[in-house]
Amino acid sequence: MKFSFVISLQNTKFNAIALKENLQQNLEKLKKLSYDGVELAIRDPSTVNIDEMNALLNKNNFTVCAIGTGQAFVEDGLSLTHPDPNIRAYAINRIKKFINLASNIMGKPKIIIGLIRGMKKTNVNAENYFYKSMQDILLEAEKYKIDILIEPINRYETDFINNIHEALIFIRKLNHPRLLLLADTFHMNIEEPNVWQSLEICKEKLGHIHVADTNRWAPGYGHFEWDIFSQTLKKISYSGWISGEMLPKPSEDEAISHTITLLRSLFS
């Protein structure tokens, strides 16, 4: 098992990000706590200086396990299911830029399709648009050998793919070896009929995990059952990345230190 924490390269309206801006300073914090790597949240890959970033990652001997794309939706209004074909095309193109960026970064990070998929609302074509957008994205993913993750997100943040069962339907329908599932403990606690059974049914496709407690504070500050979580991951032989994605609660520094302490104790 390898452990990472999310750093946003820029400030953002999305509040479940404990570390933001100043990549160098935040990488040093994670390094000091013996994290194995980092997950990045990036709004627009074209604003990233790849050489500078790789130099920083190299200096800290850090790989990037995944890249979150949600800010392209939250800040720029891009979505893979948007009724306007131009905005859809723009969103697909943005994800292709993410794939290209990932292919040039240490660790060949997986690209997360979370909020960027957009919301259905009254759009009866949303599912069809999503399917077509993903087919296009997966061609690019195959070309650059980058994995793509679909993340179920709770009903208060989106109305489209809220639980693991719904994500698996799309993943099976698209049927592509590069398409995997991201399970997030905060969302699962709200949406899954049984968190442990859901982890078991998706084990073949489980490619990444986000952790936060039930209140989106650091693990250990809510009532998520972390012992059963670790037992279940051992049972399904998950050996990938577990990444901390949470509010800066109880504080930014406590969030990053308590997350790694708990994870190491669960999986030692």
Active site residues: 151, 245
CB of 151 to Mn ion, least distance (A): 6
Task: Give the residue with the Cβ less far from Mn ion, 14 or 88.
Answer: 14
Q: Taking Cα atoms as reference points, which of 160, 146, 178 lies closest to residue 116?
A: 160
Contact 217, 16 (CB under 8 A): no
Q: How far apart are CA 148 and CA 67, in angstroms?
A: 10
CB 32, min distance to Mn ion, A: 24
The two beta strands, 37-41 and 2-8, are parallel
- Cβ proximity to Mn ion, 110 vs 210, nearer residue: 210
Q: What's the min distance (Å) between Cβ of 180 and Mn ion?
A: 14
45 versus 114: smaller Cβ distance to Mn ion: 114
- Of the pair 88, 192, the CB lying nearest Mn ion is at 192
Q: Which is nearer to Mn ion, 16 or 53 (CB)?
A: 16
Q: Let me know the angle formed at the C-alpha of 8 by 177 and 70, rounded to the nearest 5 degrees.
A: 50
Residues lying near Mn ion in the complex (CB under 5 A) are found at: 184, 210, 245
Residue 62 near residue 38 (C-beta atoms within 8 A): yes
Cβ at position 64, least distance to Mn ion in Å = 16
Listed as own residue / partner, the contacts of 171-179 with beta carbons closer than 8 Å and 24 or more positions apart are 171/205, 173/131, 174/131, 174/134, 174/135, 174/138, 176/138, 176/141, 176/142, 178/138, 178/141, 178/142, 178/145, 178/146, 178/147, 178/148, 179/134, 179/138, 179/141, 179/147, 179/148, 179/150, 179/205
Residue 86 to residue 96: CA distance in whole angstroms: 15
Q: How far is the CB of 245 from Mn ion (least distance, A)?
A: 5
